[in-house]
Structure 1
Amino acid sequence: MKKRFRFLAILSILALFVMAACGEGGGDSAEGNSGDDGGKKESDIKFLSILTGGTQGTYYPLGGSFAEFITDETGIKTTAESSQASAANMTALQDGTAEIAFVQTDIAYYANKGELMFEKDGAIDSVSAIGSLYPETIQLVTTDKSGIKTFDDLKGKKVSVGAPGSGTYANAEQLLEIHGLTMDDIKAQNLDFGESQESLQSGQIDAAFITSGTPTGAVEALNAVAKVNIVPVEEDKADELIEKYPYYAKDTIEAGTYGLEQDVPTVSVGAMLVIQNDIPDDVVYDITKAIYENTDKITHAKGALISKEKGLEGIGIPVHEGAQRYFDEANGK
């Protein structure tokens, strides 16, 4: 009997040791979880996707350069993807289908506030800015054969205005408004830049709104086969537009661009990069540095306008802390 009690006592002691060991391991696990805020860790980031726009715009070639810089400088495999541009890009980042995107500054503002095309689904608060890039010129493109010289000439004509909810669509709608027109006054066509170029070339449409950095590939392609005209936004109309929508600025398409014989006055918004909020600060710092420290390697003409000194200009949404740290250091703040 004593042997039996002794045996049971030994088993009890061993059981206590096992339970203590398990409890200690569980305590470590709980402690590790308590420090996890649910966001991504730096070590989790293996791949990044940059959403751009149509292949005939400015976002796409620049995105390819940025993806290369990020891959080379950070070791994170990064690819540039074509997309439906600004509004769709903001929604895609909100949905988690990509991490980085190009977007117009006005569209980013609408998304952050839940206004206009974002009013139905609500504000997008999971995306912040990396930095601003360059002016995006609103170009009302037509050909010499169309006979269109002014906004009034658009009445009853087939005009490409971009996809509904896109940045180009919003710009077209607001410029038409300032000139006393609505979408009902034209035969609106929802085409991307490449489709607009092909349709202008074939005579299927009469004009196209294109919001993109100049020179834009689609318009250059059109100029190779037809005489391009850009309908001007006269100064008084530009002033009226800016008074109502202050994120616009006056701009000029210089003579020689697309074979133009003289400067054409117009307006522009800004292009910027945005990123998901939960990308770690250190990763965003490295991404921002990779882009803004390699602008001299950008072959597109807009590369000359991208700089760390102007990286925070015109941004109307919160800046990611990692990007802010880079600009503060780079600009000596």
Structure 2
Amino acid sequence: MATMALTACVGKTPESRRLRIATGSPTATYYAIGSALARLVERELPGTDADVLATAASAENVQLISRGQADVGFTQADVLVSGAGSAPGIVALARVYDDLLHLVVRADSPINTLEDLKDKTVSVGAHGSGTAVTVGRLLAVAEMSGGGVIDRRELNLDDSLRALAAYGIDAFFFSGGLPVAGIKQLSTQGRARIIDLSKWAGPLRHAFSEVYVVRNVPVSAYQTPPVATIANPNLLVVAASMPDDLASDLTQLLMERRDVLAAAHPAAERLDPRSAIATLPVPLHPGAARYYQGVKP
């Protein structure tokens, strides 16, 4: 692995600049990794300050970058292939990890399948989140998207966790990297479990996008019986107009300070140049591509 030699440090004192990193809710994977990335930026890119933006996540993040209100953001790939993000001029720095769709119920719940959600009160994810995009598609292929099939709530992760524990909802969906801290806290207390959604990955691929795959949720993630579910790639994206040197420096921080990011959340352990370049259908930023070409074995 190449040693850190960031281009922002070369030749002259850099101009002062500020990076706005769009993440998710404060207990979500995006926020943990984004906060760690912000600290790295401030420590290792001279003259650069970083702000962490708490958001509804994927779709909102893409919209913020498109409008020039954020510089860097995390998003699920399906948001960009669905058109839900309305994202002209968006490019990727890296594929970071896979987001897994969690369907969470109380441990004593009679719900065991997606179909059991009929006539139940369910949070489908916050408006503007990647969770809401994926769940909308899932319910469509399961023919459960019509009015009255389920009683929908649009709650973020924190509110979903509280509502489930208080019997205010029967279940909630959340898409995130393993493990999701709030879900882990409930499950290790014996108060929640995860529903297997793996049989729906094929119908989703057929109806909507090839990005959907099946991934296992191991016992170690939540101390619950192993299940499998739907996953799709999580990308770190920027505007195509970002300067090449800055995009290269940010990509280098991602790859060469993986240990720092992984200390903030285990999902970052999956960062690797060989998988990071697999960002299709979103093209790599030329500055990111330059970095990967420089470290290619």
Report the TM-score when normalising by structure 1: 0.79
Q: Distance in 1 between matches of 2:254 and 2:202?
A: 34
**3-state secondary structure, aligned to 2:219:** coil
1:280 equivalent in structure 2: 243
1:153 equivalent in structure 2: 116
Aligned residue type for 2:167? G
Q: CA deviation at 1:331?
A: 1.7
Q: Contact conserved, 2:27 with 2:157, CA < 8 A, in 1?
A: yes
Q: Distance in 2 between matches of 1:45 and 1:102?
A: 24
1:241 equivalent in structure 2: 204
Q: Distance in 2 between matches of 1:160 and 1:212?
A: 15
1:46 equivalent in structure 2: 17
Q: Distance in 2 between matches of 1:59 and 1:183?
A: 31
For structure 1, list consecutive stretches of 5 or more residues without a partner in the other structure.
1-41
- Quickly say closer, same or farther: Cα 1:248–1:308, change in 2 above 3 A: same
1:175 equivalent in structure 2: 138
Q: CA deviation at 1:145?
A: 2.6
Q: CA deviation at 1:138?
A: 0.4
Q: Does 1:212 align with 2:176?
A: yes
Match of 1:304 among 248, 262, 269: 269
Report the TM-score when normalising by structure 2: 0.89
Deviation per residue, 1:89-119 (Å, 9 max, x gap)? 1111111111111111111233xxxx3x35x
Q: Does 1:63 align with 2:34?
A: yes
**Identical pairs, percent:** 27
Q: CA deviation at 1:280?
A: 1.0
Q: CA deviation at 1:177?
A: 2.5
The worse-fitting range, judged by mean Cα deviation, of 70-79 and 58-67 is: 70-79
- Quickly say closer, same or farther: Cα 1:104–1:210, change in 2 above 3 A: same
Q: Does 1:78 align with 2:43?
A: no
> What pairs up with 1:1-333 in 2 under 5 angstroms?
43=14, 46-75=17-46, 76-110=48-82, 115=83, 117-118=84-85, 123-184=86-147, 185-235=149-199, 237-244=200-207, 245-260=209-224, 262-297=225-260, 298-299=262-263, 300-332=265-297
RMSD: 1.8
4+ residue runs over 3 A deviation: 42-45
Greater share of residues in helix: 1
Q: Contact conserved, 1:197 with 1:221, CA < 8 A, in 2?
A: no
**3-state secondary structure, aligned to 1:145:** coil
**3-state secondary structure, aligned to 2:51:** strand
Q: Distance in 2 between matches of 1:202 and 1:211?
A: 21
Query: Number of paired residues?
Result: 280
Q: Contact conserved, 2:23 with 2:73, CA < 8 A, in 1?
A: yes
Deviation per residue, 1:29-53 (Å, 9 max, x gap)? xxxxxxxxxxxxx955511111100
Give the structure, 1 or 2, with the largest relative contact order (CA under 8 Å, sep 6 or more): 2
Q: Distance in 2 between matches of 1:93 and 1:271?
A: 16
Q: Contact conserved, 2:78 with 2:134, CA < 8 A, in 1?
A: no
Q: Contact conserved, 2:96 with 2:236, CA < 8 A, in 1?
A: yes
Deviation per residue, 1:9-39 (Å, 9 max, x gap)? xxxxxxxxxxxxxxxxxxxxxxxxxxxxxxx
Q: Distance in 1 between matches of 2:66 and 2:187?
A: 38
Q: Distance in 1 between matches of 2:230 and 2:131?
A: 13
Q: CA deviation at 1:281?
A: 0.6
Q: Distance in 2 between matches of 1:250 and 1:68?
A: 33
Please tell me whether Structure 1 or Structure 2 has the larger radius of gyration of its CA atoms: 1
Deviation per residue, 1:144-199 (Å, 9 max, x gap)? 23211111110010100012342111211222223231152100100000100000
For structure 2, list consecutive stretches of 5 or more residues without a partner in the other structure.
1-12
Q: CA deviation at 1:233?
A: 1.6
